Structure 1
């Protein structure tokens, strides 16, 4: 376990179980140089404990990079709750998790993520104040989508010569809360939409409401398009899938899109522009961070508007250095995180 922490440069790892509620949870704190760790809580049925641990560690690192490059006074952390087959009470489980968070004394602040909701955050708030994206604070998903949309426009400008999305073919993989909100923004901007999701009902909704073209999940990555927007779970870009891509740009909301940093180099060799995920999808974090600090909607909107410009700066550095944008973004983040 310590070798895993060392490899990821993780500061601390916290495990807790509560037999009465069925809670089995992991909190990973990657870096607190810029402030307390802030990151969402996942509630998923992991195949095993190692998969849950790996997910928490990998995501915590991404949150550190995301907060640093967004200019937020927070570090990076992530929590995962192993979803059991049966629990006596969901509310009881999340209240128990709140007590775990509270025991860390503010070192970690939680928020919604895959498998959790604002209602779950309300339960956590019963036992700790170190929580955001409650019902009162609001859902961060629309803000993530707005940031990704701004990033797609910046990416289109860089690679295709214009930020006008009218008539561009955009393939959206994953129609969850963020993916569907992004699809709505793309259609409003005149893009031609191709969609896939494991939930056929979500696909049909996009067909009916957005006139999207449905594509089988296994075929979407190979679909000819201008922009591919991965909005499902991570590691979608690996040596095998990169070889299938028929797009000019990859820019989407999913975390940890690259199976390894070497995949970014493969994309670069193929002439495919990749928007580093922890830059383009930072809108949700911006919302929860500023809301937690008590900022209003105007401050959140102003901060979101910087995402496109930040990506453009990274692309310019990448061209000048002849490196993949992900390499440049990582170097910039680490300068901020490890400067002493």
Structure 2
């Protein structure tokens, strides 16, 4: 933790693990009541990244950067804080790299890049990987293929943003039947072009389909919603889909397969790190993203064999990898 010499703001970098590879985690700029709250957030989020990357089969560790902002901050002081953060990240000598998070953007990564090369998700004109949504969508489709063939099956896509819209388009092109929703009525044009049934978000979530694909807000899977679900599986990119961890057990009791969102949604991060940090070709980056399907298949196999939820299988897998230091090439 450093008080930035330019900004005078607390800059906190937490590296939780480099067991499987370089630690990665976004830079969060947020308002905290006290610097200790920012420190606690950095530690919690860094630990979370360790288990997320390990469970998702990504040969990286977990880290996080947090800059504690005052209630109001001038644009010049914010830029100075980004430069300060870049210096702190550089001091780790490559053991940690950062990307966008809450309160930061691709453009901010360009500012940080003036102080360190250990940064990803920069804009395309700057030589970065640019928009992460196509790779995120590709990873989601790979996960859905692990659940079974796409053609002839029914999917409910909840949210038609950049990722959800791309997933829905791929599903339709693959011969799937779609039920879709979005809070923005303008998205209905996409639904019509795909021949999809347009319903409300609540109706989509509880539609009678093979797979529900949450692709909007988190917290949609609650104890109250689970009894009303009429699907066989749930797999989507929306973050933090479960209201709390107990919901995974409720889904399991009903025989509904829930694939952890932090595995399904890793495509964009995998692509950015592969291209910008590891320097691999676009083809190799795409292969790594497609490996999400193999990861999901492995998790489902272990969960079925051991009679546990996929969420438990993912956490056990992450812990085993960390305990054994299993570094691999990205192909599971």
TM-score by length of 2: 0.79
Distance in 2 separating the partners of 1:86 and 1:304: 38
**Which ranges of structure 1 fall in alignment gaps of 5 or more residues?**
1-13, 158-162
**Of 193, 204, 207, the match for 2:191:** 207
Distance in 2 separating the partners of 1:194 and 1:82: 42
SS at match of 1:128: coil
Question: How many angstroms does 1:151 deviate by?
Answer: 0.5
Residue number in structure 1 paired with 2:330: none
Q: How big is each residue's C-alpha offset from its partner over 1:26-51, in whole Å with a ceiling of 9 and x where there is no partner?
A: 54443322223112335678999999
SS at match of 1:239: coil
**Of 306, 321, 324, the match for 1:339:** 324
Q: Structure 1 residues 280 and 17 mapped into 2: Cα distance closer, same or farther (>3 Å)?
A: same
Alignment of 1:4-83 (within 5 A): 14=1, 20=7, 27-42=13-28, 59-79=45-65
Distance in 1 separating the partners of 2:177 and 2:18: 42
SS at match of 2:250: helix
Alignment of 1:1-340 (within 5 A): 14=1, 20=7, 27-42=13-28, 59-79=45-65, 87-89=74-76, 91-92=79-80, 94-113=82-101, 116-135=104-123, 136-139=127-130, 140-155=132-147, 157=148, 163=149, 165-201=150-186, 203-204=187-188, 206-207=190-191, 210-291=194-275, 292-339=277-324
Asked which structure has the greater CA Rg, the reply is 2
Distance in 2 separating the partners of 1:58 and 1:240: 28
CA RMSD of the aligned region, Å? 3.4
TM-score by length of 1: 0.78
SS at match of 2:242: coil
Higher mean alpha-carbon deviation, 231-240 vs 241-250, is at 231-240
Q: How big is each residue's C-alpha offset from its partner over 1:72-128, in whole Å with a ceiling of 9 and x where there is no partner?
A: 331022345678666425655543443343344434311234564322211221222
Kept in 2: contact 1:67–1:285 (CA 8 A):
no
Distance in 2 separating the partners of 1:236 and 1:54: 26
**Which ranges of structure 2 fall in alignment gaps of 5 or more residues?**
326-332
Q: How many residues align?
A: 318
Distance in 2 separating the partners of 1:224 and 1:92: 52
Q: Structure 1 residues 228 and 25 mapped into 2: Cα distance closer, same or farther (>3 Å)?
A: farther
